[in-house]
Structure 1
Amino acid sequence: MLRTSNRSILVIEDIDCSIQLPDRKGTAPAKFLESKSVRDPMFSLSGLLNFIDGLWSCCGDERIIIFTTNHKERLDPALLRPGRMDVHIHMSYLTVDGFETLAANYLNIHDHHWRFRKIKDLIKCNKVIPAEVAEELMKSDDVDVVLEGLVRFLKRKKMEDDETKDEVDDEVHEAKKAKIIS
């Protein structure tokens, strides 16, 4: 970390699970203690906090640290406080506005007759992440081909989600029925 230069961006992916950080009292999580391959016994949450607060912030300028996590609640509150993490961005499922931004950025279009309406309707009833749609938008230079492919993708995803929901509903129904019988 000390070798990073000015105008650097440091990204620590999945901070809640990619590195096992002992807490500030020096107590490691159970998962950390069970691991036989401790990567760096000198690396601790306290050390990371000191680094963010002191060395890195005072040695140069224009540095950004990005932490990603799927479980913000697992992070020590000391790491989340302002001054250490100044901006928290929740990345959720794609919205209609998000789709319009992706279409403008990837395809340089702002409307496309019936396909936009159909895509927007499918996005409203689907849980799809922006990266999945971006991947679909990069598959061809032909706008019509891309949008038709996106419609097929969203329909297929909706069918899969509906099937999964039906399976869960069936399991819940069977569980309730078993409970009533016993």
Structure 2
Amino acid sequence: MEPDLKRKIMKDLDRFVARREFYKKVGKAWKRGYLLYGPPGTGKSSLIAAMANHLKFDVFDLESIRSDSHLKSVVLSTTNRSILVIEDIDCSVHNKDNRFTLSGLLNFMDGLWSSCGDERVIVFTTNHKDRLDPVLLRPGRMDVHIHMSYCTPSAFRILASNYLGIQDFDSHRLKGEIVGLLESTKVTPADICEDFLKENDDDVDVDDDDDVDAALERVVKFLKLRKLEGANNVDETETQEEEKAGNGPESE
């Protein structure tokens, strides 16, 4: 995660916990809603765990909720100082398969149910923010929207330090090439972690400069391959769009 974003989230969480008297004074339920959105593998679930560790809160996963009545009973059974999590919210709110409805969710977020208990953080995740009903996105329901994006150079520095023991990535000879590839390629932190784990499975010695160099060279190859795959996907999409518009080979 970008350091500035990390600091903003920690500051917001700390401010929320410290404002008990303010919430009591204005007559609002002492709760805060977060929406984490972005592609799969960008760290949404990991961020929830980090938030819980930072606040020392319990976590209640509401993924197995079957209906509105089940949602209500589960919420009433949760404790104070809790993080309530609904992942993939765009897939959960519908009337099929006995999942809860939009009206049930709204009652959970800001109706009478929300007044049961104090010091609650409610976290929703989605890969597709654009699919959410606008009524869910307003302040008071999802107060803070956090975009979890693809791997950035600053995130790579942290991962390289954690997985390969590289403390001074900026001085490495491959730094410029890797940064350029990261800025032009859609690759998630999870992708990078998995690649590092593969190298560690090959008995990479993080204290050996030659092994670290070899690991980073393989990362460069991985990023180049991912960039090429992305370019091929774009070309294929453009060709399909041209054919649909009557400008492709079939129309000739």
**TM-score when scaled to structure 2?**
0.55
Matched residue, 1:100: 157
- Correspondence for 2:143: 86
RMSD over aligned CA atoms reads 2.8
Change (3 A) 1:60 1:177: closer
The unaligned stretches of length 5 or more in structure 1 are 21-31
Partners of 2:241 and 2:117 in 1: how far apart? 57
| Greater RCO, CA 8 A, separation 6+ | 2
Q: 2:113 maps to which residue?
A: 55
Is the aligned partner of 1:3 residue 2:72? no
1:107–1:10 CA distance, 2 compared to 1 (3 A): farther
Q: Distance in 1 between matches of 2:234 and 2:129?
A: 27
Query: 1:176 matched to which residue of 2?
Result: 247
The separation in 1 between residues aligned to 2:90 and 2:241, in whole angstroms, is 32
Percent identity over the alignment? 50
- Choose the corresponding residue for 1:158, options 205, 216, 227: 227
Q: How many angstroms does 1:138 deviate by?
A: 3.5
Tell me, yes or no, if the aligned pair for 1:2 and 1:56 is still in contact at 8 Å: no
Q: Deviations over 1:43-101 (max 9, x none)?
A: 3322222222243454132x221111122233222221112111101122222233223
Secondary structure, in 3 states, of the residue corresponding to 1:155? Answer: helix
What's the secondary structure of 1:88's corresponding residue? strand
Secondary structure at the aligned position of 2:146 is classed as coil
Code of the aligned partner of 1:5: T
Query: Could you tell me whether the CA contact under 8 Å between 1:103 and 1:110 is conserved in 2?
Result: no
Does residue 216 of structure 2 align to residue 142 of structure 1?
no
SS at match of 1:163: helix
Distance 1:148 1:11, change over 3 A: farther
Q: 8 Å contact 2:76–2:116 — kept in the other structure? A: no
Aligned residues: 163
Q: Distance in 1 between matches of 2:115 and 2:193?
A: 35
Farther off after superposition, 151-160 or 106-115: 106-115
